[in-house]
């Protein structure tokens, strides 16, 4: 019943929802689904409602406190996760970085406990050692970034992230997988509005390797791509927009990767995360910015004549090919587009702005009229009215 309810809500908010790659999802056995995270609560509902398997999502424990989200999370069997960032405390004083050293003014670094972390700006770093209340040594960030890459000798505010014992959560997750259940994770760690993936958190790798090491279960990881757009714009929060959910090829831990895990866990995690990241990029269209992403979709629409029938799978593949082509061309041209492509880009931009101004779509240019299904409009209104 909860699936029917979510499907009804989705059918009202989105004009169409296309699902690709269901054949890649195993019919039986445990599966870990990893999706890109563009829209905080919509993404989970989308994967849950369109998945051929029943999925239990890992959800931040604080979300269970929300009345609606908490109800839906409990109804769908979500697993609560207490995250250290949800328990972050504003640090006393300010800090400045000098390589891996962190110096403070008015700080109390001795308040840090073993395995605590510190967040400076948008980066979270491990604390290797605390020399005094005003001096500490930092390790690498969660996405393997060195503190020396951040602005140096500049006073900044910071937050203290307490260590959270996740052993009970991992036990619950592993037991669910051993029973053949499916797990849903958004490994970027939080929703965002960027046009590319954020660095993936190590949790999905720890879960997959843990299930294999403790229980001998090699759980396939299925990347899930969520793409939303409305006209020439992208984003999952636009009423009557369109959505495409694509399930990619499964990713498994190989014997060589398992051997590496026994010798170097961090290196094995990094290798698996790179594979998962690559798999996720294979089911979405990535770009450096929204202008480039819009250019890719405009080019794809004009590449095929309106009279030609193009499946949603072909549209996705074609957009990804254009995205890859742009990266290759700019890389070969010192980060810039050649003059002829730059001029073409400008023409496409002007063309798209004119379409947006007049509220038109490409296929309407030839006939200059819009077909309206009044029955569909009435049905949509009646459906929404009865549901709410």
> Using CA atoms, how far apart are residues 124 and 114, in angstroms rounded to an integer?
15
**For 147-196, how does the pLDDT look when each residue is reduced to its tens digit (9 = 90+)?**
999 999 999 999 999 998 888 899 999 999 999 999 999 998 777 778 78
**For 257-300, how does the pLDDT look when each residue is reduced to its tens digit (9 = 90+)?**
999 999 999 899 999 999 999 999 999 988 888 888 888 888 88
In this predicted structure, what is the pLDDT of residue 231?
56
In this predicted structure, what is the pLDDT of residue 233?
56
pLDDT at 330 over 70: yes
- Residue 145 has phi, psi (to 5 degrees) of -100, 140
Asked if 136 contacts 127 with a C-beta cutoff of 8 angstroms, the reply is: yes
Which pLDDT band, with edges at 50, 70 and 90, does 385 fall under?
A: confident
Highest mean pLDDT among 52-66, 89-103, 336-350: 89-103
**Per-chain mean pLDDT for the chain:** 87
> Using CA atoms, how far apart are residues 376 and 388, in angstroms rounded to an integer?
18
Lowest mean pLDDT among 62-66, 129-133, 169-173, 321-325: 62-66
User: C-alpha 330: how far from its chain's center?
Assistant: 25
Which pLDDT band, with edges at 50, 70 and 90, does 67 fall under?
A: confident
Structure tokens that stand for 81 in this block: 């996760």
pLDDT at 212 over 90: yes
> Which residue is it, tokens 């790179």?
274
Asked if 356 contacts 318 with a C-beta cutoff of 8 angstroms, the reply is: no
In this predicted structure, what is the pLDDT of residue 366?
64
Question: 0.85 exceeded by the pTM?
Answer: no
**For 101-116, how does the pLDDT look when each residue is reduced to its tens digit (9 = 90+)?**
999 999 999 999 888 9
> Which residue is it, tokens 């229980």?
215
Closest CA to 147 of 130, 128, 123: 123
In this predicted structure, what is the pLDDT of residue 294?
81
Asked if 235 contacts 42 with a C-beta cutoff of 8 angstroms, the reply is: no
In this predicted structure, what is the pLDDT of residue 250?
96
Over pLDDT 90: what percentage of the chain? 44
Q: β-strands 55-60, 79-81: how paired?
A: parallel
Question: CA of 162: how far to CAs of 115, 119, 142, in Å?
Answer: 8, 11, 14
> Which residue is it, tokens 């702005």?
353
Which pLDDT band, with edges at 50, 70 and 90, does 26 fall under?
A: very high
pLDDT at 249 over 80: yes
Highest mean pLDDT among 5-9, 330-334, 371-375: 330-334
Question: CA of 21: how far to CAs of 26, 70, 247, in Å?
Answer: 11, 30, 5
């Amino acid at each position: 019943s909860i699936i029917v309810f979510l499907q009804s809500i989705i059918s009202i908010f989105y004009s169409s929802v296309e699902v690709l790659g269901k054949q890649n999802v195993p019919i039986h056995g445990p599966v870990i689904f990893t999706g890109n995270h563009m829209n905080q609560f919509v993404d989970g509902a989308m994967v849950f409602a369109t998945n051929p398997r029943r999925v239990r999502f890992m959800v931040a424990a604080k979300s269970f406190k929300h009345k609606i989200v908490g109800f839906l999370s409990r109804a769908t069997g979500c697993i609560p996760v207490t995250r250290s960032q949800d328990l972050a405390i504003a640090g006393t004083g300010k800090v400045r970085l000098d390589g891996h050293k962190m110096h403070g003014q008015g700080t109390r670094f001795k308040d840090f406990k073993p395995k605590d972390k510190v967040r400076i700006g948008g980066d979270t770093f491990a604390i290797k050692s605390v020399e005094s209340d005003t001096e500490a040594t930092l390790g690498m960030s969660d996405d393997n970034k060195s503190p020396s890459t951040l602005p140096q000798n500049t006073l900044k505010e910071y937050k203290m992230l307490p260590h959270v014992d996740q052993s009970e959560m991992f036990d619950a997750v592993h037991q669910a997988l051993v029973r053949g259940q499916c797990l849903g994770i958004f490994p970027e760690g939080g929703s965002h509005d960027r046009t590319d993936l954020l660095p993936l958190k190590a949790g999905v790798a720890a879960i997959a390797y843990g299930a294999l090491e403790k229980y001998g279960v090699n759980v396939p990881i299925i990347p899930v791509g969520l793409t939303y757009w409305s006209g020439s714009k992208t984003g999952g929060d636009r009423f009557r927009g369109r959505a495409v959910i694509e399930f990619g090829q499964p990713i498994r831990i190989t014997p060589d990767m398992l051997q590496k895990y026994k010798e170097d866990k961090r290196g094995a995690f990094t290798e698996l995360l790179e594979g998962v990241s690559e798999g996720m990029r294979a089911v979405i269209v990535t770009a450096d910015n929204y202008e480039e992403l819009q250019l890719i979709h405009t080019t794809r629409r004009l590449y095929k004549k309106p009279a030609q029938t193009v499946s949603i799978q072909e549209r996705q593949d074609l957009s990804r090919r254009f995205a890859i082509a742009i990266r290759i061309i700019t890389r070969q041209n010192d980060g810039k587009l050649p003059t002829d492509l730059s001029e073409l880009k400008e023409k496409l931009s002007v063309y798209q702005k004119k379409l947006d101004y007049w509220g038109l779509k490409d296929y309407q240019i030839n006939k200059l009229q819009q077909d309206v299904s009044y029955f569909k409009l009435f049905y949509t209104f009646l459906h929404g009215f009865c549901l709410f």
